[in-house]
Structure 1
Amino acid sequence: MRKLETPAGQGTAVRRDPAIDLVRFLCLLLVVAAHCMMVSPVLHKDGTVTTANTLMDQAWFTPVVWVLMIVPLFFVMGGVTGLGSWRRLQARGGTGFEFAQLRLLRLVRPAMALLAVMWAGLWAALLLGVHPQVVQLMTTGAAMPLWFLAAYLTAQLSIPLMARFHQRAPKLTFCVLVVLVITVDSLRGTLPVLAFVNMVFVWCAVQQLGFFMADGYFNRRSRTWLMGAIVSSNLLLGLVTGVAVYPGNMVVNINPPNLCLLLLGISQTATLQLLHRGIAWLATVRWIQKAVAVAGRRAMTVYLWHLPLLVGMSALLLLTDFPKPSPDTADWWWARIPVFLAVVAMLAPVVLIFGRLENHPTAASHARGPSRTAVVTAGVVVFLPVVDAALNGLTLALLGGGAACFALAVLLLGRVPTPVLPQAPEGTTPGNAVTLPEEGLRANLES
């Protein structure tokens, strides 16, 4: 992979890696497909509704999920692209607070719309006579992707600080994070709530792997070294799960995360580098380029909305006479194909309506951004409902409160400041010079 040699404070033309974009697109498809095989509400004769996770009940799923658990890969890729974005902003004179503002707006706005629509829709269902138990099941199931948003946002907000540590002592920084992960895992039996601290340490450590990839560290390693990293990390993973230090099911290990997810991240990073040349070639195929370009710009909208749509569709089918095969039957498995296609079809208008909230934050020329206090307050306001949901579970009331908190955060973040662009030497007009937009125009701040 091409090294992103962008020392802090210096600007270079950093192009997006098409291989990273393609892998992100494939991982997103895999997540949607996996959830279609997991969600299975069952209506009983007494009128009660329960949910069955058919995929998790399969004996063969535990070893397969070692390959299919691609959440660490999302954080690795987030480290690659996030470090590039931070360095570009820094080269234009941007600060860590401006980076936090951009990241908060980019991720919170789509989530705000989702929470608001879910809250309104589920309240309407409750008023129309839908049993509160069903509403609560839909609330819990549909909002499951929000934990990823919270973890991903935490890791992304840490990028300016972790990039500084990475620049000074990359290997030491990674090793310190590994020690912190193991320490928290060792104490989680005594203090179970402490396990949630690894939402920060584990994902920041995995994100650091993306920093190494962005700087070309893995690119400079031989194929033998990469294969050794893959084999070693999986052998260690087999050891710690084989002696029952950690569960063997990676889905169980993910929330809160532990050392197993970091070991998977090492294996997946080395695998991504090993296959990079072939993936990059695939990414040049024209129809693949078009598909990735369309879906890539709306990846967060697809991720946030696919499970609520799936849960809502499944709940509505319970109220109809539409054939509903029993979970774990051949008919049920065959039905996953039309279910997946139906979710994709429902996502199309949702992406059309709400996808624009994912657009890069923009600013009017000479706009003044919010104060540092406002950015910090917005971050706290965003994480209040998230922490509440993690500790006490998600409720309908918390959905509404979360939507209100996210809306308040967007208001607090306010305008995005116009970037400070490097001055060209007097009397010269470089061919790639960038000029400020005219008054009244709007400029995209992030490529």
Structure 2
Amino acid sequence: MIAAGNLGGMDRRDLAGGGGVGSRGTAGRLPRLGWMTIVVLLAAGFLVIASRPVAPRTHPPTGDAALAEQAINDLLDPGSGRDPMDHLPADFTAVTGHVPVRMRAPDGTTRAVHPGGGCSSPWGDDDTRWDYSVGCKAHDLGYDLLRYADAKGQPLDPDLRKRLDDRLSADMHGMCVINPKDTPRLCQVVASLYSVGLVVNSWHQRWGPPRAEPIGPWSIGLIVIILLIAARMPALRAPPRRRQAPVPAPDLDGADQARSGYLGVLQAGSLAGIVLAESVLALVAWGPGQPGWVWPLTWVLQLVPLFFLAGGYANVLAWQAARGGFGEYLVARIGWLLRPVLAFVTAWLVVPLSLELFAAPPDATAAFGRIVLQPLWLLGLYLLMVAATPVMYRLHRRLPVLTPVLLLAAVVTIGLAGRGPVAAHAGGIVLALLFGQLGFHYADGTLWRVSRPALVAGAVAALAGLVALTTFGGQSRLLIAEPTAYASFVPSLLGVLLIGLVQTCLVALPQEPRIRAVAARGRALSPRLPRHAPMTAYLLYLCTMLLLAGLIAGARTASLTAGGADWLAQPRTMLALALVAAPTMLAFLIFERRRAVPEHPLVEVEPEPPEEAPLDALAAAIGVAYGALGLLGFAAAGITAAADPPAVLGLPLDPIANLIHLLLGWYLVHCVRIRTVTRPWPWLLTAIACVPPMITTMSGAGLAVHGLTMLLAIGIAASRSQPVLTLRTRSRAVTESTR
């Protein structure tokens, strides 16, 4: 799990904005062509996995769908003498637009076929010189029947598509015996290649009803993803001429340093507790029981309010220490998020494949996905809270009592009257801002000056309110959503609010000696790996959870031997674990193993020109907004792509749009860090990055958000092009005059 250090954000280095990926690692050991190849393969792999649809839910067909299933079974056994045409539904042609016919196959059987079909290839239909045509046309009719049943609202068993693909593969290989054309080996190779294409395409569509796929929009998205990754990778770009000066560390006295360390330990522990609770709920869901009985555990481990309280404390100290304005503050505060986000997105990609190899049921996959997705909600909302800190701190200074009261009223209103995902998202944002405000009160001393009896009374009152709310108020006792429920940490917004008030009172109880002891003991007990390599630690944790998932799945299917050693040595088991173990090793070797070689040669830090400050602030704000949108989009979309994309605050999102948003956000933040926002190219790339989400998730809100961003970016790029051209003209003139 991700623990202290980078996630706590509470030591002097993190409060000052240190951290992030600071070493080049192995980047300089590969040529640029090699790294570009890796970038293309990574982007293509993400596109293939992220574009897989949700597996269809099937049930025994009835009526016309049952006739379609019988016709497919007749197609699969051409030697039985049964004619698939006898079982075609009456409205088959009206629904599909195709009129089947009979054809004589080279093996002597009569097949029902789609006359306009053929053997599909990247260059169009190609029946090859060995004439695979009859088998391909019969296969196309089988696919038409699958589509017909889906159109009737009764998708058929995925096994039928697998059997249709196997039938075509057998027909093609059979032609290499019947009609080898003097090249039987080449025929077998070509038949095998066509068979591989069949399996890959069917796997990509989860063996569900065949569908046309939007190759054009996906290709545009792939190009943009490659551009954003390539622009960010050190090995594929020139070193920056100057870097942003580091934010000075806050000047803390002994008591403030103890409180900073104390809340740092609590923030790291809160995130670890949340992941632990999700893991327990997932394991319970995999077993025969229901997760409802573990509600006492969720009361103890629902530590989201504590996470935001500690984050608000760290943010206000960082804002007070910042001297370079909003852009410098934002870049400094979110640098530590890069590696955890990479870990979560990596897990989002590989976990479904691993569970598929374990033959885990859909509910188990959804439950395991919660372990991956839950932290993304926290990080996305934390990004928004970081960006809102300057405004919220100003409100805190002017209206220290009214601000949290209004936020409290908003949370209660949403909790009582809010319905649907928009209310859940808005409630999460307001809840984060509320406990961030309480973090401000802890920082200025208001909370720890409250008498201890008053804090105890407040905790008891909030706990009593929670008991009453869940006993008589109709609210769920589970304070963390069930593993198969909607991916939000606020199943009961009022319940989380009350447990957060309990935590706030308890956090403010210890006095300075006890605070120092907790901070020192936390630093001593926290493992070295999570502190210095959070991405590696989290992926190792997922490896362990995957092993448990596989053991449970094996026990369910009776494929687990008594000792389990044979099961562990099976190729499927080893491959499933390797899908997570390999990224774990790469994460450690490339990103998190400390090296003496810096990312770039040290450069002289220059003071920020006054004209750069507004652009820095704008680029950082846009970057944080899109980064948060990407994180929340991944959390809302779940672990697989959905036919109807989910929406975050009314904005539909899909995995491709989420990754583009995430990469665009980090690219803009990086441009602020290396001071390139005054050049036109970052803004041109920003405008280009807005195109794929507008295509893949068509909506009024999406067109408005991305269209405005595109117009703004193009306008800034145009305004910055003239100074660049003028500078180049002057440089050429100076060069020519010196010749």
Task: Tell me the alpha carbon deviations over residues 109-139 of structure 1, each in whole angstroms, 9 at most, x when there is no partner.
Answer: 431354146426756887x897895995455
SS in 2 for 1:266: helix
Partner of 1:198: 427
Aligned letter for 1:87?
A: Q
Aligned letter for 1:281?
A: A
Task: Tell me the alpha carbon deviations over residues 50-81 of structure 1, each in whole angstroms, 9 at most, x when there is no partner.
Answer: 835968342xx323432332221111111111
CA root-mean-square deviation: 4.3
Distance 2:415 2:489 in 1: 13
Partner of 1:167: 397
Distance 1:410 1:95 in 2: 19
1:374 paired with 2:628, answer no
- The change in CA–CA distance for 1:53 and 1:167 in structure 2 (over 3 A counts) is farther
Report the alpha carbon displacement of residue 159 of structure 1 after superposing the two structures with TM.
1.2
Partner of 1:270: 505
| Equivalent residues of 2:310, 2:439 under 8 A apart | yes
Report the alpha carbon displacement of residue 88 of structure 1 after superposing the two structures with TM.
1.1
One of 69, 75, 86 as aligned partner of 2:302? 69
SS in 2 for 1:212: helix
Which segment drifts farther, 176-185 or 128-137? 128-137
- Kindly report which structure 2 residues correspond to 1:194-233, keeping only aligned pairs within 5 A, or say none: 194-233=423-462
Report the alpha carbon displacement of residue 165 of structure 1 after superposing the two structures with TM.
0.6
Distance 1:51 1:125 in 2: 12
SS in 1 for 2:403: helix
- Kindly report which structure 2 residues correspond to 1:147-166, keeping only aligned pairs within 5 A, or say none: 147-166=377-396
Distance 1:314 1:170 in 2: 49
Distance 1:308 1:291 in 2: 22
Report the alpha carbon displacement of residue 182 of structure 1 after superposing the two structures with TM.
1.6
| Alignment gaps of 5+ in structure 1 | 1-8, 42-49, 326-344, 420-447
| Equivalent residues of 1:76, 1:265 under 8 A apart | no
Partner of 1:429: none
1:235 paired with 2:464, answer yes
Distance 1:102 1:323 in 2: 53
| Equivalent residues of 1:19, 1:280 under 8 A apart | yes
Report the alpha carbon displacement of residue 251 of structure 1 after superposing the two structures with TM.
1.6
- The change in CA–CA distance for 1:323 and 1:407 in structure 2 (over 3 A counts) is farther
**Number of aligned residues:** 374
Report the alpha carbon displacement of residue 172 of structure 1 after superposing the two structures with TM.
0.6
One of 656, 659, 669 as aligned partner of 1:413? 669
Distance 1:302 1:12 in 2: 32
SS in 1 for 2:449: coil
One of 182, 188, 191 as aligned partner of 2:412? 182
User: Could you tell me the TM-score, scaled by structure 2's length?
Assistant: 0.44
| Equivalent residues of 1:112, 1:406 under 8 A apart | no
| Equivalent residues of 1:174, 1:208 under 8 A apart | yes
1:143 paired with 2:363, answer no
1:20 paired with 2:255, answer no
| Alignment gaps of 5+ in structure 2 | 1-247, 482-487, 565-580, 643-653, 676-739
- The change in CA–CA distance for 1:125 and 1:214 in structure 2 (over 3 A counts) is same
Higher radius of gyration, 1 or 2: 2
- The change in CA–CA distance for 1:129 and 1:271 in structure 2 (over 3 A counts) is closer
Task: Tell me the alpha carbon deviations over residues 133-171 of structure 1, each in whole angstroms, 9 at most, x when there is no partner.
Answer: 599545555333212222222222221111111111111
- Kindly report which structure 2 residues correspond to 1:107-118, keeping only aligned pairs within 5 A, or say none: 107-116=337-346, 118=348
Aligned letter for 1:237?
A: L
| Equivalent residues of 2:344, 2:372 under 8 A apart | no
| Equivalent residues of 2:479, 2:490 under 8 A apart | no
- The change in CA–CA distance for 1:20 and 1:357 in structure 2 (over 3 A counts) is farther
Distance 2:516 2:523 in 1: 11
SS in 2 for 1:414: helix
| Equivalent residues of 2:313, 2:442 under 8 A apart | yes
- The change in CA–CA distance for 1:167 and 1:356 in structure 2 (over 3 A counts) is farther
One of 326, 330, 350 as aligned partner of 1:96? 326
Partner of 1:280: 516
Aligned letter for 1:366?
A: E
Task: Tell me the alpha carbon deviations over residues 408-437 of structure 1, each in whole angstroms, 9 at most, x when there is no partner.
Answer: 322222245599xxxxxxxxxxxxxxxxxx
Distance 2:538 2:454 in 1: 37
| Equivalent residues of 2:318, 2:333 under 8 A apart | no
Task: Tell me the alpha carbon deviations over residues 219-248 of structure 1, each in whole angstroms, 9 at most, x when there is no partner.
Answer: 211111111111121122223333225322
Task: Tell me the alpha carbon deviations over residues 75-111 of structure 1, each in whole angstroms, 9 at most, x when there is no partner.
Answer: 111111121111111xxx2322332233343324431
Q: Percent identity?
A: 22
User: Could you tell me the TM-score, scaled by structure 1's length?
Assistant: 0.68
Partner of 1:312: 546
SS in 2 for 1:13: coil
SS in 1 for 2:480: helix
| Equivalent residues of 1:119, 1:399 under 8 A apart | no
Aligned letter for 2:295?
A: T
Report the alpha carbon displacement of residue 258 of structure 1 after superposing the two structures with TM.
1.4
Partner of 2:524: 290
Which segment drifts farther, 150-159 or 98-107? 98-107
- The change in CA–CA distance for 1:130 and 1:163 in structure 2 (over 3 A counts) is same
Partner of 2:124: none
Distance 1:241 1:131 in 2: 33
Distance 1:299 1:173 in 2: 38
Partner of 2:280: 37
Distance 2:587 2:664 in 1: 23
SS in 1 for 2:324: coil
Distance 1:226 1:199 in 2: 25
Distance 1:289 1:140 in 2: 29
1:87 paired with 2:320, answer yes
Distance 2:291 2:355 in 1: 29
Q: Which has the higher contact order (CA 8 A, sep 6+)?
A: 1
| Equivalent residues of 1:198, 1:257 under 8 A apart | no
- The change in CA–CA distance for 1:323 and 1:110 in structure 2 (over 3 A counts) is farther
